[in-house]
Structure 1
Amino acid sequence: MTENSVTTVHVAVYDTLADWEIGFLTASVNSPAWHRTPGRFRIRTVSAGTEPVTTAGGLRVLPDLPLDELSPGDSAMLVLPGNDLFPTPAYAPYVAKAREFRAAGVPVAAICGATGALAMAGMLDDHEHTSNAAAFLDSLGYAGGKLYRDKPAVNDRGLITGKAQAPVEFARAVFAELGIYEPAVLDSWYKLYGRQDAAGYYELMGA
């Protein structure tokens, strides 16, 4: 397999990143188990700087790539985990990169505080979306309230948003957008992890 045959999903990493919100997503994208095309997808981390960052759970992560070197043409998706930085200027480079991705037609997936950053930047004003709660986004003074949907995760034209309390549904929306799994396999995956139904495990084992 050549380097060019690998499809990369970029995950933004920064101090205060909410580890638990992307665990299902990163583990499954980076693992070939049950993938439609085993070995096609991989995760790479990207950050505004090159120094290690510390997640909310205290894990130290060394970014694979600086944000200014990331081109939408080299990525299948930009994932923005929840964080405490979104109301500050420190998060501006990530919003700018998200805009660049969307302008190029490349999907962006944001969860928890990252949805707040996109809301503040006006990026949710013309897309159906969700977040931790409607009141959370309303408190930020955004103009997209009419398109808020009280669902665990929403995908509107390649812009995926998710609630902090719904990491499994957020991951499922990402997998569906990327086409990582056959639909029946994705249903079994969600049956196991989303509904805690052991039947999903046996279905996956037989897939």
Structure 2
Amino acid sequence: MTEIEAPTTVHLAVYDTLADWETGHATAWLVRAGYTVRTVGPDDRAAGETVTTLAGIRVLPDLTLADLDPADSALLILPGAEKYDEGDELAPFTAKARAFLDAGVPVAAICGATAGLAREGLLNGRRHTSAASFYLDATGYAGGKHYVEADAVTDGDLITAGPTEPVAFAREIFARLGAYEGKRDAWYRLFHDSDPAAFAELHADDDA
């Protein structure tokens, strides 16, 4: 099911309290489509120091935020994390998201990361969604009129979703990157709706 001839790098932000369930569908299936996923950690970590997810899983980042150049990336994924609601520790990641969007490179944010984008001002003029409208309103942002009640929303280079919609989040990412053309509907029906017929559709050309 390879979609591209040469792997293109997708960068996944990793930080303490990362919500484990939110990006697995996207990253696993991007790799199956021929992409490479590299993890990006905070600048303040010593070499060899891990970050710890909500599940207690330790992740050793491939590179630090300072080493991340939008020109080297197809997409930046920002998972949710409790730390987005605890202060400004993750603000450098949303600042990097601004650099990506300014460079015309897509950003996908889910759950708490959408609040980080709101504080950064990146949702003030873009259609977006999140866990709930009042969650983003609490950030004091000016983009409330652009909030959309939907599982996931794409506005140009920005993808947003709430914490209960990792499958819809992945579908929007695939669409933005052009992955699984002609098969995204089957993929979504399989993983979101548990439609058994979708499995055959998704894998119809595997032995071709």
Matched letter for residue 16 of structure 2? D
How far residue 89 of structure 1 moved from its aligned partner, in angstroms, is 2.3
Per-residue CA shift, 1:137-170, capped at 9, x if unaligned? 1111111000000001000011000010100000
Note the 1:105-124 alignment, pairs <5 A: 105-124=104-123
How far residue 136 of structure 1 moved from its aligned partner, in angstroms, is 0.5
Further displaced range: 4-13 or 148-157: 4-13
Structure 1 residues without counterparts, runs of 5 or longer: none
Matched letter for residue 137 of structure 1? L
Further displaced range: 97-106 or 87-96: 87-96
Further displaced range: 105-114 or 135-144: 135-144
Under a length normalisation based on structure 2, what TM-score does the superposition of the two structures give? 0.91
How far residue 76 of structure 1 moved from its aligned partner, in angstroms, is 0.3
Further displaced range: 21-30 or 85-94: 85-94
Match of 1:154, SS state, is strand
> What is aligned with 1:125?
124
Note the 1:5-154 alignment, pairs <5 A: 5-31=6-32, 35=33, 39=34, 41-48=35-42, 49=45, 50=47, 51-87=49-85, 88-154=87-153
- Equivalent-residue separation in structure 2 for 1:15 and 1:30 (angstroms): 24
Structure 2 residues without counterparts, runs of 5 or longer: none
- Equivalent-residue separation in structure 2 for 1:20 and 1:166 (angstroms): 10
Matched letter for residue 123 of structure 1? L
How far residue 90 of structure 1 moved from its aligned partner, in angstroms, is 1.1
How far residue 123 of structure 1 moved from its aligned partner, in angstroms, is 0.6
Match of 1:5, SS state, is coil
Number of aligned pairs?
196
Identity of aligned residues (%): 53
Matched letter for residue 148 of structure 2? R
Match of 2:193, SS state, is coil
- Equivalent-residue separation in structure 1 for 2:88 and 2:189 (angstroms): 40
- Equivalent-residue separation in structure 1 for 2:109 and 2:123 (angstroms): 11
- Equivalent-residue separation in structure 2 for 1:30 and 1:52 (angstroms): 22
- Equivalent-residue separation in structure 1 for 2:64 and 2:135 (angstroms): 30
How far residue 98 of structure 1 moved from its aligned partner, in angstroms, is 0.5
How far residue 6 of structure 1 moved from its aligned partner, in angstroms, is 2.2
- Equivalent-residue separation in structure 2 for 1:56 and 1:65 (angstroms): 21
1:18/1:92 CA distance change after superposition, 3 Å: same
> What is aligned with 1:188?
186
How far residue 174 of structure 1 moved from its aligned partner, in angstroms, is 0.4
- Equivalent-residue separation in structure 1 for 2:147 and 2:137 (angstroms): 10
- Equivalent-residue separation in structure 1 for 2:51 and 2:146 (angstroms): 34
Further displaced range: 86-95 or 56-65: 86-95
How far residue 200 of structure 1 moved from its aligned partner, in angstroms, is 0.6
RMSD of aligned C-alpha atoms?
Answer: 1.2
- Equivalent-residue separation in structure 2 for 1:204 and 1:143 (angstroms): 41
